Structure 1
Amino acid sequence: MEPHLSIWGDFAGVELRQHFVNAAGIRTRIVEAGSGPTLVMVHGTGGHLEAYTRNVRELSQHFRLVLFDMVGHGLSEKPNRPYLIDYLSDHLVAVLDVLGIERAHLSGESLGGWVAAWTAAHHPDRVDRLVLNTPGNITNNPKVMAGLKASSLAAVRDSTYETVRARVEWLFGDKSLVTDELIRFRQRLYQQEGFERAMENILAVQDWEHRAPYIWTAEWCGMITAPTLLLWTDKDPTATVEDAEILLKLIPGSTLEVIKGAGHWPQWEKPEEFNSMHVQFLEG
């Protein structure tokens, strides 16, 4: 893979479309590329679809790739209510509906992995195969929850270059891969009018009263029938590789792959491995 230059450098030469749709009343930003079986990729807490720019060129050669900003995130609409897992999952299903997608592969990172897994459990007829990419603090570690909440709110309330850089660097094992462009792009998103309130709603699930109904349990994980790949890293700040063993037991028939030398965004730090694992697993 060529060295990363910029977001548009990654997109250069790829036939893609950015547009907005009304998904269950939510104005939602979409980027689509490629053809074939549909692969929907779901970003993490406080994130945006550009989390996957380093994967579009390769994966769009195999799949109809759909990226979107979850409700409350990126450039999608931000209603004033807590963005809990079932609400985010309903929005994901609404995106499938408005795009005319009956079934799709789902790949979710961090919060997006939680949402993708919940969707696979509660809408099994809509999911072919499932990739859970560093799905994030599955043991509900209070220190991780508090740290994520503090750094995310700081990046929005005082959205200087330095505070946003700190939030973005937290995602990476190799901090040198954090680009000025990525920081300034996220800074621009965080400076949108009303985004502080949106971030508070995004982070609601970091409070136990909102989190408790959705914690990873055998009850709902056992409802997942889609073949599932757990894609872990050895430098994830939210969970250890040992934590993956918990999900291996909770999700029937799941398998585990570990990408070494990456943090919470292996799709950006190790795109060749990330892309190859997706193609091999999703194509069976």
Structure 2
Amino acid sequence: MSKLPEHISVWAELSDVDHELRHVDVDGVRTRVLRAGAGPHLILLHGTGGHLEAYARDIAGLAADFRVTAYDMVGHGWSDLPDRPYTIDVLSAHLLGLMDTLGIETAHLSGESLGGWVAAWTAAHEPDRLARLVLNTPGNIANKPEVMTRLKESTLAAVRDPSDDTVRRRVEFLFHHKEMVTDELVNLRRAVYSRPGFVRAIQNTLVLQDPETRKEFAWNRDWVGKITAATLLLWTDHDPTGGLDEAALLQDWLPDAHLHVIEDAGHWPQWEKRDEYLRTHRDFLLLEKAPA
């Protein structure tokens, strides 16, 4: 009998953990939410053009220690797509509204890519709403134009033509081990990108890759330095959006930052290196005092 693969499907990852998947109203935005587990609140935020399935491999493991909430940000996944620019303040307000709707006073936040940017902005501007912060490959801290252009062009190409080839290239961009990109992951993205109105929605998200719009929210010492929460910088050695030099910037700007580098992974360590991702979260978030 042949050995089962480590990952079968999103459903298989969730098959042995009690969870609920539903939509809630957040200030008029129908928002898709998945919740599981018990313990301290932990909210997971996905990246540009993403959806909560980005964390499918992690929810069961995290639910052993946390009350986990993963959700589709406004303008993403299967949440509503109101026609307005999804700037960082808008995405942060949606997060805070979701917390209010779910009755979450404070939570740990763990954000990947764009989700890390939103989580950090929230930590800086609403410090009383969170405990600890994990920035998972937050990407392009140095605001490099070439990175913005590459992300914008590859994402727009996939949404305008949600064929297998173009969407697969967009998903493979997230992985160092591209053989881990499954047909299921690609087709989930194709389904999202094929939603009526999604071309306009992704344009509303990609305003953040425009230097003029971005400058109001760009990573810089002024606002990042206001983050008082203990922060874990979860980096990788093959992230196409930013290297360890950019992690060093955050270490310099943040009052209480701790760096952990996951090797042999790209922009989605939560998928490629699940065990290490889970272990670092448990170790950092459950310690009574953050490591020195």
TM-score normalised by the shorter chain: which range applies? over 0.9
Within the candidate set 3, 7, 10, 1:7 is matched to 10
Compute the displacement of 1:232 (Å): 0.2
Q: Does 1:104 align with 2:107?
A: yes
Structure 1 counterpart of 2:231 = 228
Residues 1:24 and 2:12 aligned together: no
Matched, 1:156 2:156: no
Does the alignment pair 1:146 with 2:163? no
TM-score by length of 2: 0.96
Distance of 1:281 and 1:24 partners within structure 2: 33
Answer yes or no: is 1:86 the counterpart of 2:89. yes
Structure 1 residue 20: deviation in Å?
Answer: 0.7
Q: Normalising by structure 1, report the TM-score.
A: 0.99
- State the shift of 1:86 in Å: 0.5
1:205 aligns with 2:220: no
Paired amino acid for 2:211? W
The corresponding residue for 2:118 is: 115
Q: Any residues of structure 2 matched to 1:1-284 within 5 Å, and which?
A: 3-284=6-287
Q: Secondary structure at the match of 1:138?
A: coil
What's the secondary structure of 2:53's corresponding residue? helix
> Structure 1 regions of 5+ residues with no counterpart?
none
Report the residue type matching 1:254 in the other structure. A
How many angstroms apart in 2 are the aligned matches of 1:180 and 1:172?
14
What's the CA shift for 1:104? 0.1
C-alpha displacement at 1:271, in angstroms?
0.3
Q: Give every structure 1 segment of 4 or more consecutive aligned residues whose post-TM-superposition deviation is greater than 6 Å.
A: none
Q: In 2, distance between residues paired with 1:29 and 1:283?
A: 27
Q: RMSD of the TM alignment (CA)?
A: 0.7
Q: Which stretch of structure 1 is more off in the superposition, 215-224 or 10-19?
A: 215-224
Shift of 1:80: 0.5
1:125 to partner: Cα distance: 0.3
CA distance in 1, matches of 2:259, 2:17: 31
* Count of aligned residue pairs for this structure pair: 283
Tell me which residue corresponds to 2:290: none
Q: Percent identity?
A: 55
Q: Runs of 5+ in structure 2 lacking a partner?
A: 288-292
Mapped partners of 2:123, 2:157: distance in 1: 33
Amino acid at match of 2:208: V
